[in-house]
Amino acid sequence: MKASVDLRAIELAEYIIENKATVRAAAKKFGVSKSTVYVDVSERLKNLSPGLYNDVRKILDVNKAERHIRGGMATKQKFLK
């Protein structure tokens, strides 16, 4: 069981890095909750692969900084329809 969780954390991290994906997009792709993705890439990955963790952290920080912009664009599109 532990090995599969560790493997999932690494796969999630690689997916996020390759696609510059959000936590929500990764969760949808892998069929797990957003909370699971966040715990895997922020807590488990730190101990498994610090280098990979740092790369994912950079992308998650950018996503967090841009999320208010994406939300505003989604609202704009909603009201344009």
The pLDDT-based confidence of 1 (bands split at 50, 70, 90) is low
- What pLDDT was estimated at residue 67? 77
pTM of the predicted model over 0.85: no
Gap between the Cα atoms of 59 and 65, Å rounded = 10
Residue 33 host element (H or E): none
Q: How far is CA 41 from the centre of its chain?
A: 7
At 3-51, the pLDDT tens digits run: 789 999 999 999 999 999 999 999 999 999 999 999 999 999 999 999 9
Is the separation of the CB atoms in 35 and 74 below 8 Å? no
Q: How far is CA 31 from the centre of its chain?
A: 13
- What pLDDT was estimated at residue 74? 81
